[in-house]
Amino acid sequence: MSRENVRYNYVIGDVQGCFEALKALLKEIQFDSDQDFIWFAGDLVARGENSVGAIRFIKKLVDRGVAATVLGNHDLNLLAVARGIKKIKEKDNTQDVINALESDDLIDWLRKQPLCLFPNDQTVLTHAGIPTNWTVEQAAQYAKEVEVVVGHDDFAVVDAFLEEMYGKEPTLWSENLKGNERLRCITNYLTRMRLTDAEGRLEFSFKDALDEPMPEGFKPWFQFESQATKTHQVIFGHWAALEGQIISENIQNVDGGCVWGNNLLAYRLEDKRMFAVHNPMFS
């Protein structure tokens, strides 16, 4: 489907394997694959009831050219699990993906998805946002550095990064960073970021709502003056406690905390309308 023929563009927040909620949301927005396009904000899998069903379905949409997705931190974790580098986390329900007959195809498809997308000329999508000390152009460039490695044809290259992907250091971006330290820092900004300090230094422990006490010297990344929002609307998921808040005219969260029994969200770009369905597994 050519971009000119799209009726509506929807950005859907963290599915997290909540396949029943995804099907309900597509019904709610009356999604028509002949006219509409979906942008997924990452974390396609993890703690919901049917990760393999969700990823199969989303892959089919992407392969048909009616959807696209960025990678989230849980998607990257699944890649590390599939490569034997990490064990499945206690709360994750992703063994069904590993056990699937077409597991290799699903994992190979997943690792070739981007970390940064542009739904239109005025909008940028990443899983966790864009640090305030990066421009949109820099974010796309740095994302590509990680994408090239994660999607590499040589699994020795892929595994070498996945083995070093975990860790909180370095917490502050520098153009002088090299190798896996550089790639880890980029990945953490684009897929794990919530709080930073005024310089852009990352803080990883805080996951709560905005009215909860935060570590001294740190605030939500979007409360600092942003380079990216001077040129684009930034849409992100990842932070479930925000529950799809409008942060500002140019910053929109789309994670409704579906996996925790709240809502799965779809944000329509054409009129900035938010659609929500409650996770039916909790009804």
- The 3-state secondary structure of 173-200 reads CCCCCCHHHHHHHHHHHHHCCCEECCCC
Pair 23, 33: CB distance under 8 Å: no
- CA 21 vs. chain centroid, Å, equals 17
pLDDT in tens, 188-239: 999 999 999 999 999 999 999 999 999 999 999 999 999 999 999 999 999 9
Predicted local confidence at residue 5, as pLDDT: 84
Nearest alpha-carbon partner for 242 in 228, 254, 233: 254
Predicted local confidence at residue 90, as pLDDT: 87
Angle between helix 51-63 and 19-28 (nearest 10): 50
Counting residues of the chain whose pLDDT is more than 90, the rounded percentage is 94
- Res. 4: pLDDT tops 80: no
pLDDT in tens, 84-99: 999 998 888 999 999 9
- Domain that includes residue 105, residue range: 3-282
Domains held by the chain: number = 1
Tell me the mean pLDDT in the region 276-280: 96
Type of residue found at 141 = Q
What's the CATH number where 271 sits? 3.60.21.10
pTM, rounded to two decimals: 0.97
Q: What are phi and psi of 259, to 5 degrees?
A: -65, -20
Nearest alpha-carbon partner for 13 in 255, 241, 244: 255
Segments in 47-135 forming alpha helices (H): 51-63, 73-82, 95-99, 103-111
Residue 1: which pLDDT band, with cuts at 50, 70 and 90? Answer: low
d(CA 42, CA 115): 9
